[in-house]
Amino acid sequence: MALRSDREDTRAQEEALRAARDAAADVLADLAAEARSLGKAYAARSVRIPEGSALAGLVDAARRAEEAVDMAAHDLATARGEDA
C-alpha cells in the first residue's frame, strides 16, 4: 500500500508504542506479583519482615515504563499529525 507523500510512515512509531506497552505490562505483572507476595507475608505475620526494596524498585520501573508509553504515544500522534 502506497503512502500519501504528505504523510509520514508511522510503522516504527506504532511498533515502539506496542513494545513500550508490552514492557509496561510485564513490569506491572512483576509489581503485582511482588505486592501479593509481600501482602501474604504481612498477613501471615511472619517473624521475618520481608524486604521491600524489590517492591520499591518495581514501582520505579513501572513509572519509567509509563513514561515510555506516554512518549511513544506522543511520538506516534506527532507522526500522524495529530499533535500540534
Secondary structure of the chain in HEC code, one letter for each residue: CCCCCCCCCCHHHHHHHHHHHHHHHHHHHHHHHHHHHHHHHHHCCCCCCCCCHHHHHHHHHHHHHHHHHHHHHHHHHHHCCCCC
Q: What is the pTM of this model?
A: 0.77
Say what the pLDDT of residue 32 is. 94
Q: Which three cell numbers stand for residue 17?
A: 508504542
* Residue with cell string 500500500: 1
Ordered by start, the domain boundaries in the chain are: 11-79
Report the amino acid identity of residue 54: A
pLDDT in tens, the chain (84 residues): 454 544 568 999 999 999 999 999 999 999 999 888 888 888 887 667 667 788 889 999 999 999 999 999 999 999 888 855
